Structure 1
Amino acid sequence: MMAFESQGLGEDEALARLQTDGPNQLPDPDRRGVLRIVGGVLREPMFLLLLAGGGVYMALGDLREALVLAAFALFSVGIAVIQEYRSERVLDALRDLTNPSATVVRDGVRRRISSRDLVRGDLISVSEGERAPADAILRSGADVEIDESLLTGESVPVVKHPSEGQSALEAPGGPDSAASLYSGTMLVRGQGLAEVVATGPRSEIGRIGKSLRAIETEPTRLSRETRKLVAAAGFGAFLVCGLVVSILGFVRRDWLQAMLGGISVGMSMLPEEFPLVLTVFMVMGAWRISKAKVLTRRATAIETLGSASVLCTDKTGTLTENRMAVASVWIGGEASPWRSDAASQAERRVVDLGALASAPHPFDPMELAFHAEAGPALQAERSLVRTYGVSAGCPAMGQVWRSPEGERIAVKGAPEAVAGLCRFGDAERERVLQAVEQMATKGARVLAVAEAKVEPGPPQGDLAGFTLRFVGLVGLADPLRPGVAAAVAECQGAGVRVVMITGDHPSTARAIATEAGIAGGGLLTGSDLTLMSDAALAEQARGVSVYARILPEQKLRIVRALKAAGEVVAMTGDGVNDAPALKAADIGVAMGSRGTDVARAAADLVLLDDQFASIVAAMRHGRRIYDNLQKAMGFVIAVHVPVAGLAILPLMLGMPMFLAPAHIAFLEMIIDPVCSLVFEAEPEEQGLMRRPPRDPAQPLLSRRALAARGAEGVCALVVVAGVYAAGVSLGLDDGSVRASAFLTLVFSVFSLVIANRTFGSVGQAALRMNRLLGSVGAVVLAAVVAVMTAPALRELFRFGPLNWQGLAVAIAGGLVSLGLLDLLRRATRFRGARTSGVAA
């Protein structure tokens, strides 16, 4: 056993243990490496079709076409891998932002290292205001108190005593855990040296983290809907592709050309953009939401957040500032609001004694509040003699001070405990507790203050040995964060019910809820939940807006009850015991500043600033993302109609193949950035946060929306087919007809883009600003000009010379497409998201 005065581990031994045990961090089983990402992309149907087309061209002896398709395939793979890899970096960004450091003694020298590099046997320095970086045994220290609420739910700090003989960690909260420090717990008082005994997954937090894997993470509704759309379209493409190959093979007796035609048809019908759109929207959405101080751990939760119907939030640090301030003082009669410049001598005495009962250099927010209001010379002529810390059986603490007048002890703590120490009778005790209740109804946390003269003689063993005189009560308020009331009102205007869950006194909880605007619902306590069945709780949860005196483990029951009531639940939390509730919720939201690694690992989103308003900002982004996702998916449906039609119709009519795989691959290079990047950058619709959440049972695209998008695609197909048929009937050469019709198709594609940019009319879409659309349009125009004018590219795509008449016809075709789309929308009385949130 290594004693605390040792030189610590050597660097070589520490490195060897690090390689054996692994880093001091929780493993992430969901993380995907580059090879796994590449493997998933290589199994995509579009990639396989491109390779198949290249193989057919190789068989036909057309090496150039084969290489072009191979280049398109590699380009598609590269884009997809980069986008997927960026999404995997989100978790790494979280680790970089939240990875703490630790002071370790190695080779007799103290140094700061990353806490992930700590190993068993390391000697670490722990001090007030820091979190324990690993499970450890306290070897030396003075006045060490630990806040273990993240593990036990108990907010009262626990006194720790050094032990040189203890070798194993005891269970938190137990009678034998006086020397045990647990990873993630906060030192609120004292300092010392501790020996690390467990790191990473072997720590107490790590063991709880492992149990989270038993809770299955359900795929989001959007993911399930997208899979169904892709599966249905893929199955249809497979059937039509097989039919085309069979017909052409048997009729024309040219099976290689038949396979080439079938591949073209398959590529034209396969909506491979769906997974791409979903990936890009989630990655870009995570980036945009990060600007609102919300880090996205699981990007697919973004769309779920936009459809949340209940937002469950902590009080302390989320709705409030987690910064205590003296708000009121009671010395009998009515409690008086605290004003430092107008306080009476008796009121000043209560606050000064509260400061004397606090640590001389505090970290705890309550003790900081007492010191902020105490007289500046309070401790100038006094010296600290002895401290009596908080114990499990007595939630009060006292400090003995020596002054020229002698020794006196100042005590502060829970009113019930201090009343007991003052040996109150029933009547006096009831009078004090009534005052506590009245102060709590104003949102204050109430502490009692007492004092006594210390008689000469041996020190008392505990506070019960003193004859204490009750002095008064102090109400400490945690101010509401600026902007919380406005954010709550915005949620309620959006049809999202805000529910506050706290461990505070019911009266305090109700007062804070009222101040924040969380009103109009019932209140349940933790003891109420204990007596209720799950079915009864699910029924009651529909009308409850405040839960008080709630233990962390009861949050999971609340989440399950709300989900059983049909709600889409967002839940905030920071402690280890909050992790199961965070994972079970539809959207788990962890605290970045004061949360544990386990809570962050279980959550979908992490608040970097711990502010409620950031959740609401993320919700707004989520709704905008979902709207734009509807527009993008609708565009994909619409644009595949003319592409598939132009691939199938010439083959069925016995005409030369109009769209070869190279043409379709080129179109995909246009469609992909438009349907992903351009639609993702669309601004939000008017009234975004003045409409109710989307019905969870409502599909991404309704049948009416699918029919409307299909009709838009038919309009574009009719225009392009008309240009193609007119060219053939006029006796133009095949290359010129193909060039003019293909350019008309490109313009029609952009007409579909404009029409689908908003849930309003085409005229409204034209007025919306989107700089990315202009950039993408310029790149596409340059590519089209190159294809139409460069001889080598023109030959590759089998285009003939395009004269000004052909160009004019193509531009006119694009304008006609746009006009038809506007008429179609007016005819179908298109409304969209301003009323229902769903494109018609």
Structure 2
Amino acid sequence: MNAAPHAHDVRTVFEDLGSRPEGLSSADAATALERHGENALPQAAEETWWQRLLRQFRDPMIYVLIAAGVMTALLGEVVDTIVIAAVVIINAAVGFFQEGKAANALAAIRDMLSPSSEVLRDNAWVTVASSELVPGDVVRLRPGDKVPADLRLFQSSSLRIEESALTGESVPADKRIEAVAEGSDLGDRTSMAFSGTTVAAGTGLGVVTATGADTQIGHITTMLDEVEAAETPLTRSMSRFSSMLAVGAVLLAALMIAVSVIIYGTSWGEVLMSAIGFAVAAIPEGLPAVMAITLALGVQKMAARNAITRRLTSVETLGSVTTVCTDKTGTLTRNEMTVRAVHTRNHTYEVTGTGYAPEGRLLLDDEVVTPDGHLDLARMAQVAAYANDAGVEKRDGRWVLTGEPTDGGLRTFALKAGVDDTARRIAEVPFDSEFKYMATLDALEQGAVVHLKGAPDRLLDRCDRQSSPDGGTEPLDRAYWEGKIEEFGARGLRVLAAAWKRGEGLDDVTVGDVDAGGFVFLGLYGIIDPPRDEVVDAVRTVQEAGVRVRMITGDHASTASAIAREVGLAGHRAITGAELEKATDSELQTIVRDHDVYARTSPEHKLRLVQALQANGEVVAMTGDGVNDAPSLKQSDVGVAMGIKGTEATKDAADIVLADDNFATIAAAMKMGRTIYDNLRKAIVFMLPTNGAQGLVIFVAMLVGMTLPITPLQVLWVNLITAVTLSLALSFEPAEPGIMQRRPRNPDAALLDSEAILRILYVSVLIGGATIAVFQYLQMNDASLEVSRTIAVNTLVVGQVFYLFSARFSRVSALRRELFTTNPVSWLCVALMLALQLAFTYLPFMQAAFDTTSVGLLSWGVPILAGVLVFAAVEVDKLIRRRV
């Protein structure tokens, strides 16, 4: 098929396809079906449950733990093997169940296709499965039909097609049969009907030019299949961090083995168990579980704020984004046409309120007015009410449109003005894209009246007079109205006009009656799909957080620029899809640095823009609601879909779905993401001294040839209960003050800075040194090995409890009221930790499992003293840093 059927006349298209207006024969269709294949979109293989489960084990720290488990099993240490296996399995299970079902965007797009179609075969209309359509088939379109394939139209009667999911257009596109320029944007190809779109009004005939993967929607599925999900900043940071810890632990364990065997002649069995104990001690095996639980808690909190997160790491990633790319229609705006201004020869009236809810005011010079005292406004409201086939009604608390969006906006304006359609309609001329107007003959109290609304130029051609300021009429001043039309257009408003004339003696109205003229021009309606009420504040909040907001829409440049100015994105002109088409990838990287508004974009353009931003080092969140947004949502670091008006394809390609379609929810999600990252970092800075202290105890003991103060199994116990109690407490920490005034963090920055590393080192030395000192003191005073190890473990645990109190506040002193009031979960976790440790010390079956024994009440004084010293040291460190 010719590469651009929209740019060629119908006869040429039929010749290229080997078809004719009478359609194909059944034999020709069967041959074509063998050649082109079914009219179906390609299917990508889904991730199976076991692939998702295996992915949970892809972590260097988990690899070391698995190796340790295998070694303990070979050495016959059954209890150690069971505990290590339990830790690994619990971590995997948490990630597996929290992550949920993987995305399946292609299946959702396939659901958009029509199941059957009316086709002209063998000179007769038949209904066939849409999958059997082939290029050259002639298809009939009726209102409500889904377009089954890409069609070149050759007959059209008032045909209008809803294409917003594909092109981003706010209103249905008028379709004609005339060819358009070859380089036309997708939304300007008026001679085409695209697969997956819906017929809003009128009828038409078209010849199939592309099926399956060759259609425009097929290109989108191909792009989705080719796009690889981006690795999140947290995933990258944790991967680097895990690799460094795992490699370091293995190297130090190897060093210990060499020293023990060569210098002290320790047996291989004993030295291997000690090395395994060190590796287990040095690796925070509870960290993956803490990370998963912290993210899961964030997911639950965001669900309460109407943001449904489909992938755990997406919440944190949203907290680190540097750029939010947003679609306009349905995201920044409601995708609900609204009359914003009404201009008559007397005045310009501003109309407040958004969407189809008839809630708003009519303003003149900022003063509220009513049609009762303004005849010009009353007549504009009457035309909006009477020359209208749309309706709005309240369902389940929401105002819902029945009919076309533009008519819905006019109906809502009429209701705001207090005018309902109470007249008896005698006759009508329905809207047609050929003549671009609608006329009704209505019986009013004062007699029959013809109400006319439509494109301003068409109405001006049919008017010889205009309404005058005194309520009468005067000769039409066409130049005046053309100037006002340009003014409204510069504001990004879609302009419709209203006119009327007396209809005495008429019992019908036809196109000929309208074209005969004699109308009085009443004025102009300025209509727009306005920004949501909450968007302006939300955009400001996001910008104050150091995040740049960019609008990428398929709508016209003037409309995009007008909305951009209203939401606070003014400053640069809109870059069009045609300009993006000409730009190389390197030129595009320069363009995205300087411009924030992009109009008349295709799905390919959106995808390239996201890729260019990522190439510049940006962490990109992309929001959208149409299937045209799906590839860029999948490519972005965080894809955010609208839950109410978003297509299923968009939701399935996204990481986060906004249940309320509210852009402001993104700002709340960003704050939650930053809080989660802070809390994860606090958890790491808290957990590592536990591992550092344990590793130090075993490392020093082996290097100097002393008895191990704690056994490998006791190490696992401390790590596990610390992770599920104390570390988890940090997941509930509230956001720090000023968190949304920070600059976004550098996604390539290390997870831990020098301050965090220094704190981890000295706290590890303090707790580890106290543990060794306590153990050695007890051994020198003839305490049993079980008693010495039990008190040593208690010293580790109590030291961690006191360190938790200080770690909750990274910079400021922990000696404050908020220590007791802002995170009650932390106190519950401390109580649980101490209860578990008491069970570890005193319950017989725990004593048997972990080689512990009961100790006297006074023996707890030593661990408490060690904990106080740790707390004091960290607080002094914070005080010095604040002073310096």
Say if 2:404 is the partner of 1:364.
yes
- Alignment correspondent of 2:349: 336
In 2: Cα distance, 1:321 partner to 1:701 partner: 42
The 10-residue stretch of structure 1 (652-661 or 353-362) with the greater mean CA deviation from structure 2: 353-362
Amino acid at match of 1:304: T
In 2: Cα distance, 1:568 partner to 1:59 partner: 46
In 1: Cα distance, 2:575 partner to 2:463 partner: 29
In 1: Cα distance, 2:620 partner to 2:58 partner: 35
2:221 aligns with one of 191, 206, 209: 209
2:241 aligns with one of 229, 232, 240: 229
Amino acid at match of 2:840: V
1:799 aligns with one of 849, 852, 873: 852
Amino acid at match of 2:98: R
- Alignment correspondent of 1:820: 873
How far the C-alpha of 1:722 sits from its partner, in A, is 2.0
1:783-798 superposed matches below 5 A: 783-798=836-851
1:235-314 superposed matches below 5 A: 235-250=247-262, 251-314=264-327
In 2: Cα distance, 1:557 partner to 1:436 partner: 35
How far the C-alpha of 1:276 sits from its partner, in A, is 3.4
- Alignment correspondent of 1:109: none
How far the C-alpha of 1:55 sits from its partner, in A, is 6.0
How far the C-alpha of 1:621 sits from its partner, in A, is 0.7
In 2: Cα distance, 1:103 partner to 1:538 partner: 39
CA 1:712/1:610 → structure 2, altered by over 3 Å: closer, same or farther?
same
Which blocks of at least 5 consecutive residues in structure 2 are unaligned?
1-37, 117-128, 134-140, 177-185, 351-361, 363-368, 392-401, 466-475
Deviations along 1:124-173, one digit per CA (max 9) or x if unpaired, are xx998x895987999xx998743113224444524689xxxxxxxxx998
CA 1:510/1:388 → structure 2, altered by over 3 Å: closer, same or farther?
closer
1:114-263 superposed matches below 5 A: 145-158=160-173, 182-183=195-196, 185=197, 188-189=200-201, 205=217, 207-250=219-262, 251-263=264-276
Amino acid at match of 1:809: V
In 1: Cα distance, 2:612 partner to 2:112 partner: 39
How far the C-alpha of 1:252 sits from its partner, in A, is 3.1
Amino acid at match of 2:734: P
- Alignment correspondent of 1:66: 78
How far the C-alpha of 1:306 sits from its partner, in A, is 1.4
- Alignment correspondent of 1:448: 497
Kept in 1, the 8 Å contact 2:501–2:518? The answer is yes
1:337-356 superposed matches below 5 A: 337=350, 338=362, 339-342=369-372, 344-356=374-386
The 10-residue stretch of structure 1 (231-240 or 329-338) with the greater mean CA deviation from structure 2: 329-338
1:71-110 superposed matches below 5 A: 71-74=83-86, 76-89=88-101
SS at match of 2:550: strand
- Alignment correspondent of 2:718: 667
In 2: Cα distance, 1:822 partner to 1:571 partner: 42
CA 1:275/1:54 → structure 2, altered by over 3 Å: closer, same or farther?
closer
In 1: Cα distance, 2:528 partner to 2:171 partner: 17
Kept in 2, the 8 Å contact 1:26–1:597? The answer is no
Deviations along 1:3-54, one digit per CA (max 9) or x if unpaired, are xxxxxxxxxxxxxxxxxx99x999675x644422443445666666666666
CA 1:75/1:641 → structure 2, altered by over 3 Å: closer, same or farther?
closer
- Alignment correspondent of 1:778: 831
CA 1:203/1:268 → structure 2, altered by over 3 Å: closer, same or farther?
farther
How far the C-alpha of 1:272 sits from its partner, in A, is 3.4
The 10-residue stretch of structure 1 (468-477 or 813-822) with the greater mean CA deviation from structure 2: 468-477
In 2: Cα distance, 1:799 partner to 1:589 partner: 52
The 10-residue stretch of structure 1 (477-486 or 527-536) with the greater mean CA deviation from structure 2: 527-536
In 1: Cα distance, 2:756 partner to 2:514 partner: 73
How far the C-alpha of 1:71 sits from its partner, in A, is 4.6
1:36 aligns with one of 15, 40, 51: 51
In 2: Cα distance, 1:299 partner to 1:54 partner: 28
In 2: Cα distance, 1:98 partner to 1:775 partner: 48
How far the C-alpha of 1:603 sits from its partner, in A, is 2.9
CA 1:277/1:176 → structure 2, altered by over 3 Å: closer, same or farther?
same
Kept in 1, the 8 Å contact 2:160–2:199? The answer is yes
Amino acid at match of 2:164: S
In 1: Cα distance, 2:796 partner to 2:862 partner: 11
How far the C-alpha of 1:664 sits from its partner, in A, is 1.8
- Alignment correspondent of 1:10: none
- Alignment correspondent of 2:356: none
Say if 2:451 is the partner of 1:436.
no
How far the C-alpha of 1:808 sits from its partner, in A, is 1.6
Kept in 2, the 8 Å contact 1:277–1:675? The answer is no
**TM-score, normalization: structure 1?**
0.78
Deviations along 1:186-207, one digit per CA (max 9) or x if unpaired, are 5645899xxxx99998986455
How far the C-alpha of 1:287 sits from its partner, in A, is 2.4
CA 1:643/1:283 → structure 2, altered by over 3 Å: closer, same or farther?
same
Kept in 2, the 8 Å contact 1:55–1:66? The answer is no
2:424 aligns with one of 381, 395, 399: 381
How far the C-alpha of 1:80 sits from its partner, in A, is 2.5
1:522 aligns with one of 572, 582, 592: 572
Kept in 2, the 8 Å contact 1:293–1:608? The answer is yes
Kept in 1, the 8 Å contact 2:442–2:449? The answer is yes
CA 1:181/1:50 → structure 2, altered by over 3 Å: closer, same or farther?
closer
1:558-637 superposed matches below 5 A: 558-563=609-614, 566-637=617-688
In 2: Cα distance, 1:665 partner to 1:286 partner: 29
Percent identical = 29
- Alignment correspondent of 1:836: none
In 2: Cα distance, 1:120 partner to 1:150 partner: 22
In 1: Cα distance, 2:820 partner to 2:582 partner: 56
CA 1:435/1:531 → structure 2, altered by over 3 Å: closer, same or farther?
farther
- Alignment correspondent of 1:410: 452
Deviations along 1:652-682, one digit per CA (max 9) or x if unpaired, are 2222223323112212212322476322221
SS at match of 2:573: strand
- Alignment correspondent of 1:649: 700
CA 1:340/1:773 → structure 2, altered by over 3 Å: closer, same or farther?
same
How far the C-alpha of 1:341 sits from its partner, in A, is 2.8
Kept in 1, the 8 Å contact 2:430–2:438? The answer is yes
Task: Name the structure, 1 or 2, with higher relative contact order (CA <8 Å, separation 6+).
Answer: 2
- Alignment correspondent of 1:114: none
In 2: Cα distance, 1:452 partner to 1:621 partner: 60
Say if 2:497 is the partner of 1:482.
no
In 1: Cα distance, 2:652 partner to 2:854 partner: 60
SS at match of 2:760: helix
Deviations along 1:209-230, one digit per CA (max 9) or x if unpaired, are 2322323333122222211111
- Alignment correspondent of 2:814: 762
In 2: Cα distance, 1:226 partner to 1:100 partner: 38
CA 1:500/1:56 → structure 2, altered by over 3 Å: closer, same or farther?
closer
Kept in 2, the 8 Å contact 1:788–1:801? The answer is yes
- Alignment correspondent of 1:318: 331
Kept in 2, the 8 Å contact 1:412–1:450? The answer is no
